[in-house]
Structure 1
Amino acid sequence: MNWLPFLISGSFCQLFMVVEVPHHCDTSWILAVGPNLTEEEQLNLTLPRGPDGHFEQCSMFSPVDWDLDSILAYGLNHTEKCSSGWVYPSEQPPSLLTEFDLVCDRKDLNDIAQAIYMAGLLLGSMIFGPLSDRIGRRPVVLISVFLQGLFGLGIAFVPHFYVYMAFRCVVGASVSGITMTLLALATEWIGVSSRPNAVLTSHCCFAIGQMILAGLSYGIRNWRLLEIAGSALIFAFFFCMGLPMDCKWKKSWTWASFSCSDSLSFCVLKLKPEKEVKSGSFLDLFRKKHLLKVTLIMSCAWFVNSFVYYGLSLNVTNFGLDIYLTQLAFGAVEIPARFACIFTLQRFGRRKTQAVLLVLSGLVCLIITGIPEDQPVATTVLATIGKFAASASFSTSYVYAAELFPTVVRQTGVGLCSVSARVAGILAPLVRLLGQHHRAIPMAVFGSAPVLGGLLCILLPETCGTDLADDTGDGHPPAQVGAGAASAVGTWAASAGGAPWMCWGFL
């Protein structure tokens, strides 16, 4: 399995494109009557000062048609919002904030753009989930990677911010197609004993991608060049990536014969159909009682997990420490979080792991609400712990959901859970806007939801050590399996779309 597309996902690159910089209203109008004014004199005459003694960033004195002597004698008293744009430090590299004026009344566009990107993830879940069940996993992955690279490159040349948001929406949809479909391939091709390892490896690549992003953003401060660099990596992955054949879930198969040729270094696996498996549909997720419970609770778990994960991730600019170091720490902490899952999922099972991690991530956010604003180190440490728990919980959700849903509706079920997660991703940046009323409100919301979701997970069945269910007819968890090799063969055989089926590879 090739996890390279996970390295550059584009989920958090906007964080480094909208870094806060000093700014003030453009008051160059006064230079028409006082061309010899210094910058300090110009600002003293045209900008009001706030309670802290600094110039206001979003208001200015109203322009007048007086001469300079009258302005100096009487001063300016009436204020208004910036009407001629803003002025930024000349040494500041081009960023989304400076190029599209994402300040003052336009400041909320930053979070709205993040929400639109998350809406793209939702759109991708709705499109690529069912599509991969119809045309196969491999074509969907290749299409998604190509779209991500193409529109990511297009973002570097957009002339308007609204075009930027539209392109980011397409990138989000392609990212969703990649993550969901590679998950399905990993689950369907690998046996029970290695199933969590394969999925969690993909998530480790995602964490490494966050660290790479922090390094790229630190070295490339021009946002357009940063987009070009990231898109170039995506295109490199597109041409270098190798994927296995797709799985066609139409029939269940049993062994007929197995032969190997040492001289040619390949094997031929001949299978024969054992029984017809009735195909499933989206409605089966709600028509059957046991699937309804799984669908509702897992959708809720994915929702709250995504809610707290993105709530913490998108807040790196507000924790008070260097944004590049914070992002590096956030990416680094995900790697041990993913590997810790490999142990906890096998030792304690899926249900307990999911519930405990969700509750822990929520409690950390609730504790952050009580940390004073002048304690950025304590806040960042707690946020890192919360990111650890949320990341581990997210990996658990992928493994758990893939095992709970039967084969014939697995991708549809996981897609529905992903839709739920994407809705939470859309809401997360919008909830951050509540911080305008009180800084503790967003973290209180982000903390309460996963605690409730974690408690609901206790009602789910345990799937640790069980084989994948083929159809929707059984109301109980799949039976325990024997050796990992037998499970792998069973999963492999069940994925075949015809017989004989040839698998080429080194022995």
Structure 2
Amino acid sequence: MEFEEVLNEIGDYGIFQRRLVYWFLLPATVPLAWFALNQIFMLSVPDHWCYVPELSESNLSVQQQQMLIRPIEIQFGLELPSQCRMYDLNYTSVLLDFLESPYSNITFQNYTLASDVPKKACQNGWAYDRTLYDSTASTHWDLVCEKDHLPHLIFTLSSVGAAVATPIYGAMSDRIGRKLTFFICVTVTLSSGVISLVLPSFIAFAVFRLINGSLIPTIFQVPYIMLVEIVGKEKRTQMMGIACIGWTTGLCILPLLAFLIPNWKTFGLVTTCFCIPYFFYWRFLPESPRWLVSIQRYEEAVVILTKMAKINGRSVPTDLVKRLKKVEESMRKEKESSTTTENFTVLFRYPSLRKYFLTITISWVANSMAYYGLQINVTNLYGNEFLNFFLLGIVELPSYFLCWYLMERCGRRWTNVGLMFLAALSILIPTAFPQDLAIGTTIGALIGKFGCSAAFMVVYQQAAELYPTPVRALGMGSSATIACIATICTPYIIYLGTYGRHIPYFIIGGTCLFASGAASLLPETLHAKLPQTIEDGEKYGQNQKYFSCHSPQDDDVEDDVKTDSVVQKEIMELLSTV
């Protein structure tokens, strides 16, 4: 007895589910990017130079002050004004000389200092360009020059928190329920986000940003899981698509909020407080009936399923409790039959399973590094960082629809290979451009974000279809955890750009290129039946040709396999949802 059979009778995608999609899943995923990625703008480092009190108190323009303060140095092969060093001068005397000079009433364009003037490190802190921001966390604590690695430390701590805490919150979700776990995460996210803004210490800020970052993956996953567990199997991919669209929509709005709120504390407070509307969902958001059945709370599951049937215009089965007990018994037997194999070492005991695990994990790691790395590197790209962030977000929308279509037409394997190869080339090719042609790197980053965003959907689908049933959750969880650990290093890969702007692109692009080649070794899963046992998984794909785009099981495809017209119809449904 399967839960899907009960769900089909009471309506597996009726008015009840649609209401939750339109009023919960989509609205709930939009603000996620705001308090998940707001620290990118909060930690932005504007142009800066040594602060000289004598010049700051004078009537000289900012441009004139900079010409007296900033020596020209070779950086990345270019002559650029220094951000961390200054001329070693008696500025009181210089100021008097300047006021008496014939240049005092002109634009100061012809005023120069001798090349042999000694230089020294900043003595009195830094002055900052206030064009885009009134203040940021980096300007507040002077996280520049010898402290310029600290903003990357905050990004790393967020990844550490996510890698450590996500399995814990996942276990909590299975123990106390999806609904309660979701609201606990929202509460902690709100409180940790606000506390990090009001405490005066940078160490306290770092600790609470770690706590805040540890909750973000769970807040994204739980609403998606709650919907997936009450819709039919043919609508599950659509739920993922809607969640991704909500995330991307929030991603595109975030830079507008940062532009309108130039003070980092106010911006952080506003974006974090968008957690508050989630609490209004408490009264009408149902617990997952599938989870309630799994822990034998049948009466509560019956109440929810009865309400679902009535709203969907379906009749309630008279023997609903009896059938739910059979569902729970089936779940328990399946779990008991798989306990002998559900440990991490099983992923390496079998040749095919080992190959699947290593290849999927490599693809997942490369994808996570590219996505996260390109996103946090936005402040280093050519042009306005708000516009760049928006463009990096908006390119995700067409990538989802293209990926969905290609997966059903060309298969999963070559779609993954092609998209990762596109991401790799777009990241690597700009490294051949001259250093002063920075716009090429920006264009490459946009195309790379398009490729890796689409490739994530394929990797996720391949993982679900290649891992055998007894180790599917273990395999996907292990691959995702390793990818999450890899993102811990990503901020410091981006930090290597301080030694050479192209270094991060070589590392990330090279990883994507390697992952693209490795992905071609996976078997095709389009129209294939899922492997139910490890033995099925070991035999799977043995007769496939390397350049095939379909599974050899195509002749045995069940009647409910999606045709191109069905896929196109679902894409139109997604578009209408937006």
| Paired-residue identity, % | 28
Query: Alignment length, in residue pairs?
Result: 474
Match of 1:347 in 2: 409
Match of 2:343 among 282, 291, 312: 282
Report which stretch shifted further, 472-481 or 198-207: 472-481
Note the C-alpha offset of 1:303: 0.3
Note the C-alpha offset of 1:263: 11
1:37 to 1:148, Cα distance in 2 relative to 1, 3 A: closer
Give the partner amino acid of 2:252: M
SS in 1 for 2:316: strand
Match of 1:212 among 253, 259, 278: 253
Match of 1:254 in 2: none
8 Å contact 1:330–1:384 — kept in the other structure?
yes
Match of 2:558 in 1: 482
Match of 2:475 in 1: 413
8 Å contact 2:159–2:487 — kept in the other structure?
yes
Match of 1:81 in 2: 121
Note the C-alpha offset of 1:101: 0.7
Match of 1:497 in 2: none
1:98 partnered with 2:130: no
Match of 1:492 in 2: none
Match of 1:147 among 188, 213, 223: 188
Note the C-alpha offset of 1:417: 1.7
Report which stretch shifted further, 187-196 or 347-356: 187-196
| TM-score relative to the length of structure 1 | 0.80
Match of 2:155 in 1: 114
8 Å contact 1:137–1:247 — kept in the other structure?
no
Match of 2:397 in 1: 335
Query: Aligned runs of 1:432-443 on 2, under 5 Å?
Result: 432-443=494-505
8 Å contact 1:305–1:394 — kept in the other structure?
yes
SS in 2 for 1:93: coil
1:200 partnered with 2:226: no
Match of 1:425 among 487, 492, 504: 487
SS in 2 for 1:156: helix
1:128 to 1:287, Cα distance in 2 relative to 1, 3 A: farther
Give the partner amino acid of 1:267: V
8 Å contact 2:70–2:83 — kept in the other structure?
no
Match of 2:373 in 1: 311
Match of 1:494 in 2: none
Match of 1:23 among 11, 25, 48: 48
8 Å contact 2:178–2:287 — kept in the other structure?
no
Match of 1:300 in 2: 362
Quick one: distance in 2 between partners of 1:240 and 1:379?
Answer: 43
1:226 to 1:250, Cα distance in 2 relative to 1, 3 A: same
| TM-score relative to the length of structure 2 | 0.71
Note the C-alpha offset of 1:36: 8.3
8 Å contact 1:186–1:199 — kept in the other structure?
no
Give the partner amino acid of 2:489: L
Match of 1:493 in 2: none
1:245 partnered with 2:288: yes
Quick one: distance in 2 between partners of 1:198 and 1:69?
Answer: 66
Report which stretch shifted further, 223-232 or 193-202: 193-202
Query: Aligned runs of 1:255-266 on 2, under 5 Å?
Result: none
SS in 1 for 2:383: coil
8 Å contact 1:136–1:247 — kept in the other structure?
no
Give the partner amino acid of 1:482: E
Match of 2:443 in 1: 381
8 Å contact 2:421–2:516 — kept in the other structure?
yes
1:26 to 1:319, Cα distance in 2 relative to 1, 3 A: closer
The CA deviation string for residues 206-231 of structure 1, in whole angstroms up to 9 with x for no partner, is 11111111111111111111111112
8 Å contact 1:49–1:56 — kept in the other structure?
yes
Give the partner amino acid of 1:87: A
SS in 2 for 1:396: helix
Report which stretch shifted further, 82-91 or 310-319: 82-91
1:225 partnered with 2:266: yes
Note the C-alpha offset of 1:245: 0.6
Note the C-alpha offset of 1:205: 1.3
Note the C-alpha offset of 1:400: 2.5
Quick one: distance in 1 between partners of 2:479 and 2:445?
Answer: 25
Quick one: distance in 2 between partners of 1:180 and 1:14?
Answer: 21
Note the C-alpha offset of 1:178: 2.6
Going by fraction, where is helix more abundant, 1 or 2? 2
8 Å contact 1:184–1:411 — kept in the other structure?
no
8 Å contact 2:426–2:444 — kept in the other structure?
yes
Match of 1:235 among 258, 264, 276: 276
SS in 2 for 1:315: helix
Report which stretch shifted further, 199-208 or 131-140: 131-140
Structure scoring higher RCO (CA < 8 A, sep ≥ 6) equals 1
8 Å contact 1:466–1:477 — kept in the other structure?
no
Give the partner amino acid of 1:58: C
Note the C-alpha offset of 1:113: 1.7
Match of 2:202 in 1: 161
Q: Structure 2: any 5+ residue segments left out of the alignment? A: 1-20, 99-113, 296-304, 542-552, 563-578
1:70 to 1:85, Cα distance in 2 relative to 1, 3 A: closer
Report which stretch shifted further, 458-467 or 334-343: 458-467
1:196 to 1:371, Cα distance in 2 relative to 1, 3 A: farther
Match of 2:546 in 1: none
SS in 1 for 2:395: helix
Match of 1:370 in 2: 432
